[in-house]
Structure 1
Amino acid sequence: MIIILCPGIHDLELTESFISELLSTVSDSAIGYNQLNILVVPTQGVLPLSATYVLQFMRDRLSNKRASPVIFISFSAGVVGAIAAAWQWQHEGGQVKAFVAIDGWGVPLWGNFPIHRLSHDFFTHWSSLLLGSGQNNFYAQPPVEHLTMWRSPQTVQGWQVDSSVENTTSNIRLTAAEFLHLLLRHYEAK
């Protein structure tokens, strides 16, 4: 499984922390280190906002693997460039297995692939749904600071929400890291 990680505009240490947590989460599961290929889009300045930049990075790294399915995991400003790159990648014949937006508040998310949102509080979750989302999403409860979602997803408690179900009794309590782990397991099995 190829994961395209699109960070936002922040210190590199936050992304390193996120990757470390992601790898430790999956190492305890059926998804192993050898099955994950994580490509981190380098971020300098406002480059995470550029779909052209993200797409060129993908073309450079995956030119001979266009048929390989990819999962985008993007954060904050990185969601902007990543969603447009995902559309274009698919338009060029690539396969987008899923798109995960972590705190991509204000970014419209539509596509011909599954989309999931993770939000640092309920307001961000609720207001982001108006701009498109998938059926299965997550929001932090209690609310956390924006950067905590990326730096320490294992510490963020919250709710997995099935947006197709009207009543909240179907919501599941877990951490943001556990939610991501469930998504990866789901898409690995597909």
Structure 2
Amino acid sequence: MATVLVVCPGVHSPQLTECFLTAVALDRANTVQICIIPGDRQPVYSPLHGLRVLQHRLGAPWAAPPVLFLGFSAGVVGLAAIAPLWKALGGTVLGLIALDGWGVPLSGPFPIHRLSHDRFTDWSSALLDGPAVSARGSRFYAEPAVAHLDLWRSPHTAMGWWQPASATPVRTTAAACLQTLIHTTAAL
């Protein structure tokens, strides 16, 4: 069964999400199936909205293909609730990738990866996270800092430090970090 990348954007124009998918080289011809939770008609921060979209597009969690969740900003709020719920309902959750989900505590029985637009957001978010982030996940922060929306629109221009679990930090772009996380997870 192919992995489904569930993308939950923030509250912004859908064109920015297309820019993100292009910058990370995630187009429709990729090996990963992409399911976008639309934010232009319903609130992306609502777990009920997101869960309805997923059930409509993927079916019952226990019968759906494995999913990797990826959210940005307000979309992280929705996914913070959806991912553990999807798992509890029998779905296979390969992980959660949160881009600038500042102030949103993240935990779950799956790897969690955080990418932040600056060092302060990374540091302050780490204070809220459960052990899944440090034990099985990873962190990235842009240095020099980039604007919040630029992390989504242009992750290929956000240079920074990626700290994989139990490894030495690597200087790379947010896009390269995401490509590695997505393709490594999808191969599982």
Q: How does the TM-score come out when normalised to structure 2?
A: 0.89
Structure 2 matches for 1:101-116, cutoff 5 A?
A: 101-116=98-113
CA distance in 2, matches of 1:45, 1:80: 17
Asked if the contact 1:4–1:72 (Cα under 8 Å) also holds between the matched residues in 2, the reply is yes
Give the aligned partner of residue 12 of structure 2: 10
Within the candidate set 158, 175, 178, 1:177 is matched to 175
Asked if the contact 2:8–2:37 (Cα under 8 Å) also holds between the matched residues in 1, the reply is yes
Q: What is the deviation of 1:20?
A: 1.4
CA distance in 2, matches of 1:16, 1:53: 21
Matched, 1:144 2:146: yes
- Consecutive unaligned residues of structure 1, counting only runs of 5 or more, are none
Deviation digits for residues 76-99 of structure 1 (CA, Å, limit 9, x no counterpart):
000001110111111111011010
Give the aligned partner of residue 41 of structure 1: 37
Letter in 2 for 1:141: E
Asked if the contact 1:67–1:93 (Cα under 8 Å) also holds between the matched residues in 2, the reply is no
Q: What is the deviation of 1:157?
A: 0.2
Asked if the contact 2:161–2:172 (Cα under 8 Å) also holds between the matched residues in 1, the reply is yes
Asked if the contact 1:9–1:46 (Cα under 8 Å) also holds between the matched residues in 2, the reply is no
RMSD: 1.9
Asked if the contact 1:117–1:138 (Cα under 8 Å) also holds between the matched residues in 2, the reply is yes
3-state SS, counterpart of residue 105 of structure 2: coil
The structure-2 alpha-carbon separation of the partners of 1:68 and 1:39, relative to structure 1 and needing over 3 Å to count, comes to same
3-state SS, counterpart of residue 78 of structure 1: helix
Q: What is the deviation of 1:12?
A: 1.5
Q: What is the deviation of 1:45?
A: 6.4
Letter in 2 for 1:62: L
CA distance in 2, matches of 1:163, 1:2: 23
The structure-2 alpha-carbon separation of the partners of 1:59 and 1:18, relative to structure 1 and needing over 3 Å to count, comes to same
Give the aligned partner of residue 120 of structure 2: 123
Asked if the contact 1:136–1:162 (Cα under 8 Å) also holds between the matched residues in 2, the reply is yes
Within the candidate set 48, 51, 56, 1:52 is matched to 48
3-state SS, counterpart of residue 44 of structure 2: helix
3-state SS, counterpart of residue 162 of structure 2: strand
CA distance in 2, matches of 1:64, 1:91: 12
The structure-2 alpha-carbon separation of the partners of 1:111 and 1:18, relative to structure 1 and needing over 3 Å to count, comes to same
Asked if the contact 2:4–2:34 (Cα under 8 Å) also holds between the matched residues in 1, the reply is yes
- Consecutive unaligned residues of structure 2, counting only runs of 5 or more, are none
Letter in 2 for 1:63: G
3-state SS, counterpart of residue 105 of structure 1: coil
The structure-2 alpha-carbon separation of the partners of 1:64 and 1:80, relative to structure 1 and needing over 3 Å to count, comes to closer
Aligned residues: 180
CA distance in 2, matches of 1:35, 1:61: 18
Asked if the contact 1:5–1:38 (Cα under 8 Å) also holds between the matched residues in 2, the reply is yes
